[in-house]
Amino acid sequence: MPRPSKPLLSREIIANAALEMTSETGGFTVPGLARRLNVRQSSLYNHVSGRAEIIELIRRQLHEAMAVRVDVTDDWPDVIRHIASAQRSSMAKHPWLIPLLATSPADLDAAITTVENFATVLCRAGFSDRDVVLVIAMIDIVTIGASLDLASPEDIYPAEVLAEATTLARVMRSSPPGASRADAAFEFTIEIIIEAMRARLRRPNPG
């Protein structure tokens, strides 16, 4: 009997199914995963040792998906814009999985290459080693928050709330028509960060 051209089960297939389940429901169990894949639970253990290893496989996939090509000759503001935008888009696809990313070490070649090149760009620009460490963490913090903000409603203040808030109602009318609040806020935040970092570079003894 000929073998199927596509394997019925593999570590990648298991990780993909677990990723889909977590995105849909906020989590997964090994029995539930077996039902989703229409296999015996024991069949999963021929490929993975258990739930912990499946979580690690998901972490690897997401870290690799978030890896951004960084040219060390690019200007540092453009690198920050590029990395922040790519990370925000990637995290927004799987908001339930952000805690996994936030608590997992970046020990993968693709992810490390991104951070290594990012650090190189910042160091060459003149930022202190301490500032580089903090900027890398800051971009992660901003992109995690920004990715979650994409799930927020466009109109975050109901009309009845604005009716009781004169100043807030006035400033809300200044929003450009047709612009996404989340996108505009994200771009504003990144530009404010870049502006502050430029000012820091101009200081006699930054850090």
- Element spanning 28, H or E: none
DSSP codes of every residue in 138-185 = HHHHHHHHHHHHTTS-S--S-HHHHTT-HHHHHHHTTSPTT--HHHHH
pLDDT in tens, 107-132: 556 667 888 999 999 999 999 999 99
In this structure, whether the domain defined by 67-207 belongs to CATH 1.20.1250.20 is answered with no
Asked if residues 90 and 62 have their Cβ atoms less than 8 Å apart, the reply is: yes
Q: What is the mean pLDDT of residues 153-180?
A: 78
C-alpha distances in Å from residue 106, one per residue of 64, 91, 155: 10, 15, 36
The domains of the chain are located at: 1-65, 67-207
Give per-residue pLDDT as tens, 12-24: 999 999 988 887 8
- The CATH number assigned to the domain with range 1-65 reads 1.10.10.60
User: How many other CB atoms are there within 10 angstroms of residue 194's CB atom?
Assistant: 16
More confident residue, 3 or 71: 71
pLDDT at 4: 52
Rounded Cα distance between 93 and 45, Å, is 28
Statement: residue 50 has pLDDT above 50: yes
pLDDT digits (tens, 9 = 90+) for 74-87: 999 999 999 999 98
Q: In the predicted model, what is the mean pLDDT of residues 51-71?
A: 82
Amino acid sitting at position 67: A
Residue 78, C-beta contacts closer than 8 angstroms, at least 6 positions apart: none
How far apart, in whole angstroms, are the C-alpha atoms of residue 183 and residue 162?
22
pTM of the model: 0.75
Confirm if 72 and 58 have CB atoms less than 8 A apart. Answer: no
DSSP 2: P
Which residues touch 6 (CB under 8 Å, ≥6 apart)? none
The three state secondary structure string of 81-138 is HHHHHHHHHHHHHCHHHHHHHHCCCCCCHHHHHHHHHHHHHHHHHCCCHHHHHHHHHH
Place of tokens 């650090």: 119
